[in-house]
Amino acid sequence: MSSRLNPYISFDGSARQALEFYNGIFGGELTVSTFGDFGDKEAPGADLVMHGQLETDAGYTIMAADTPPGMEYSPGTNITVSLSGDDADQLRGYWEKLIEGGSVSVPLEKQMWGDEFGQGTDKFGISWLVNIAGTPS
């Protein structure tokens, strides 16, 4: 297996909902394990996600977990997820779904470097960058 880089996102009790949301956008196979799956099923937080992983058909991987009880959670301040490529229709479609219910800080539009670029935050507080490669002149 070659090395890869992918986001690992921490949530405060909404990891399952977030992963299901991303699965609905990107498709692929989602696996989720809870703290209770590997420990006391009656313990506080047993139903929280210990590890979730989405492997998409497009080759994207998103990993996520809920912050266990007693640990500090700081939403959205330590991660940005970047999507880039040249499939404009696919990337625009992802952008529209990701920002639904969220906010846009930079509209997805042509930039001075020639690409289309947008930046926003989804409804779970995760920051996303989308860059669509421009056509060479």
What are the boundaries of each domain within the chain?
A: 8-66, 80-132
pLDDT in tens, 18-64: 999 999 999 999 999 999 998 888 888 899 999 999 999 999 999 99
Position 74 scores a pLDDT of 77
Q: In sequence order, what are the residues at sequence separation of 6 or more whose Cβ sits closer than 8 angstroms to the Cβ of residue 56? A: 26, 27, 28, 62
CB-CB contact of 52 with 63 (8 Å)? yes
Q: What's the pTM?
A: 0.77
| 67/122 Cα distance (integer angstroms) | 19
CATH class, range 80-132: alpha beta
The model's confidence at residue 136, banded by pLDDT at 50, 70 and 90, is low
- Judge whether residue 100 has pLDDT over 50: yes
Angle between helices 88-99 and 15-26 (to 10 degrees): 150
